[in-house]
Amino acid sequence: MAATTDVAPQLRKALEGSLAALRRLADSEMPAPVVQRMHQLGERKDTLADMEREEYLALVSFWKSRTLEKAEAAVALQRLRDAVPDLVKAP
């Protein structure tokens, strides 16, 4: 396994920037108002008006894709941690 001192400076900067972005995504949380609205709509999902149903379905879709993105970011961080342990500090 190569030490990060062997990695070209540009690659190191790129990795550091990518790590920061991955950490932000992996650690991100949905804004409280979004979570609250989704729960409000979800509690009444059987009686929602058409526009509310569309809003609820959009929120659920967004929630699912965001959850997948967070999981993918966590996996990518772990892979980088395994590949370049002296660059990626454990949380």
Instruction: With respect to residue 66, please indicate whether it lies within any of the assigned structural domains.
Output: yes
Supply the pLDDT for residue 50: 97
Specify if 67 maps to a domain.
Answer: yes
Residue 16 domain-assigned?
yes
State the DSSP H helix or E strand holding residue 69, giving kind and residue range, or none if neither. Answer: helix 50-83
pLDDT tens per residue across span 62-73: 999 999 999 999
Q: Which whole number is the average pLDDT over 28-44?
A: 96
Whether 4 is covered by a domain: the verdict is no
What is the end-to-end Cα distance of the chain in Å, rounded? 22
Number of structural domains (the chain) is 1
Q: What is the pTM of this model?
A: 0.76
Q: Taking Cα atoms as reference points, which of 89, 77, 3, 27 lies closest to residue 11? A: 3
Domain with 44 in it: 9-83
Confidence of residue 87 (pLDDT cuts 50, 70, 90): confident
Residue 46 inside a domain? The answer is yes
Over residues 31-46, mean pLDDT: 96
pLDDT band at 4 (very low <50, low <70, confident <90, very high): low
* pLDDT value at 89 more than 60: yes
Residue 91 lies in a domain: no
Flag whether 88 is in a domain.
Answer: no
- Which contacts qualify for 30-34: CB closer than 8 Å, 24 or more apart? 30/63, 30/66, 34/59, 34/62
Give percent of the chain with pLDDT exceeding 90: 65
Does residue 26 surpass a pLDDT of 80? yes
Residue 1 domain-assigned (yes or no)? no
Closest CA to 77 of 89, 68, 63: 89
